[in-house]
Structures are given as structure tokens and as C-alpha cells.
Amino acid sequence: MKLYYMPGACPLASQIVLEWTGTPYELQAVERSALRSPEYLALNPVGSVPTLVDGSLKLTQNPAIMEYISELHPEAGLHGKTREQRAEVRRWLSFNNSDLHRTFSLIFAAASYSDDPAVQNLIAQKSTDRVQFLFGVANKNLEGKEYQAGSRSIADPYLFVILRWAKAKKLDLSDKPNLEAFFARMSADAGVKTALKKQGLE
Ligand SMILES: N[C@@H](CCC(=O)N[C@@H](CS)C(=O)NCC(=O)O)C(=O)O
């Protein structure tokens, strides 16, 4: 199994699931400039990471990759035992991917939406406000819980990766103690540490 990634980007979430399930895998770094190459687009038609190649399967989209790995290893218990628990896992996975990640991307990529620096600043500021609102939702959900869906699941590595970006961008999370505690918990996890080390990030 081979995971295509860029260091620190969202494929880290899928890689943590590979570590948590004990799946043997190979990492393949992709240069940003190679994302739109015909060779890479043949693997991932959107030209983004992650891509997971497992035999003849070329799988894209982080949530699909994480569910796939989790289904190969039900014994790891990363996707909930009951229908209700599985629904909770999907709910937070969708929240992380479609709400948080999508909005955070606007902070990183404001320059792709306008050439005007004032507009770029406005996009970044409005997106930061929205990300902080969404972090507030995640913080509230984590009240009295160690993990987003109650027990550890495939949703958690995604939130961890986005919190790493928030730290890099120096977003103030001081009013979100449950998120800070979650970040510390995940940072201390052996599988998370191994995944970071394999990407050259510590
Ligand atoms: N919906 C996609 C999002 C993937 C995505 O946005 N990947 C980013 C890295 S975190 C990327 O490849 N960005 C490079 C680009 O779009 O040019 C998924 O869940 O896999």
C-alpha cells in the first residue's frame, strides 16, 4: 500500500490511521509542482493529496481512504461498534473534511482567489473568523470527552492535522481548553509520533 503525501498536509490524517491499524505502507512524497502532472492526475484527477494505491485500487479523498483502511482492520475499532456510533464518526469526519478543512484552505490559499492584497487579507480574516467559530463547535463537542465521537476513531487524526495548521498560523485557542487538551493527547500518541517522524516532522 502506498500513500502519496506532502509533509504536514491532510494525508497525515490517513497516515495516522495506517499507524493505528498497524497496516504496512510506503510513503511517496509529491512535490506541489507535480500535482498537475499527467502522471499524477492519472492517479488523482483532482490533483491533490492524499492518494492511496493498494494493488489495482487508486483511492482519493481523505475520508474515503480512512474508512477503507479502517474497514480492512475492524479489530482496531476506529469506526464505532453500533450504527449510532458509526454515524457519529461519519458526522465528525464530515465536519473536519467539509467544514473545517475547506474553510482553513481559504486561509492558506487566499491569493488564489484574488490578486488584490486587500481582498486576500479580507478572505484570510473572514476565513479565520469562521474557522474559530467551527473550532468553538469542536471544543464544545469535546466537553467531557477524549475523542470527537466518544471513543478514538478515524475522525480524530483529521482534527489533529487541522489543529497543527492552526498552531503554525498562531491562531489563538486559549478560550478552547478541550481542543488544547485533545491536541496534547494526540501529540503524545505513539502512532501520531511515528507518523510525524516518518514525514520528517517532530
Ligand atoms: N477533499 C480532498 C481535499 C484534499 C486537499 O485539499 N489536499 C490538499 C493538501 S491538504 C492539496 O493537495 N492541496 C494542493 C492543491 O490543491 O493544489 C480530500 O479529502 O482528500
Q: What is the pLDDT of residues 98-129, one digit of tens each?
A: 999 999 999 999 999 999 999 999 999 999 99
Radius of gyration of the chain (CA): 17
Q: Which fold has domain 83-189?
A: Glutathione S-transferase Yfyf (Class Pi); Chain A, domain 2 (1.20.1050)
Within 6 A (CB) of ligand 1 lie: 9-10, 35, 48-50, 61-62, 97
- Whether pLDDT at 202 is above 90: no
Q: Which fold has domain 2-76+193-198?
A: Glutaredoxin (3.40.30)
pLDDT bucket at 15, cuts 50 / 70 / 90? very high
* Residue having the nearest C-alpha atom to atom 6 of ligand 1: 48
* Residue having the nearest C-alpha atom to atom 17 of ligand 1: 48
Beta strands in the chain (DSSP E): 2-5, 26-29, 51-54, 57-60
* 7 CA to centre of ligand 1 in angstroms: 12
Half-sphere exposure at residue 158, Cβ-oriented, CA atoms within 13 angstroms = 31
Q: What is the pLDDT of residues 140-192, one digit of tens each?
A: 999 999 999 999 999 999 999 999 999 999 999 999 999 999 999 999 999 99
Q: Where are the domains of the chain?
A: 2-76+193-198, 83-189
Q: CA torsion angle for 43, 78, 148, 50 (degrees, to 10)?
A: -10
* Ramachandran area for residue 80 (φ above 0: left; ψ -120 to 50: alpha; else beta): left
Question: How many Å apart are CA 5 and CA 12, to the nearest integer?
Answer: 8
Q: What is the pLDDT of residues 27-39, one digit of tens each?
A: 999 999 999 999 9
* 10 CA to centre of ligand 1 in angstroms: 7
- Residue 162 confidence (pLDDT): 98
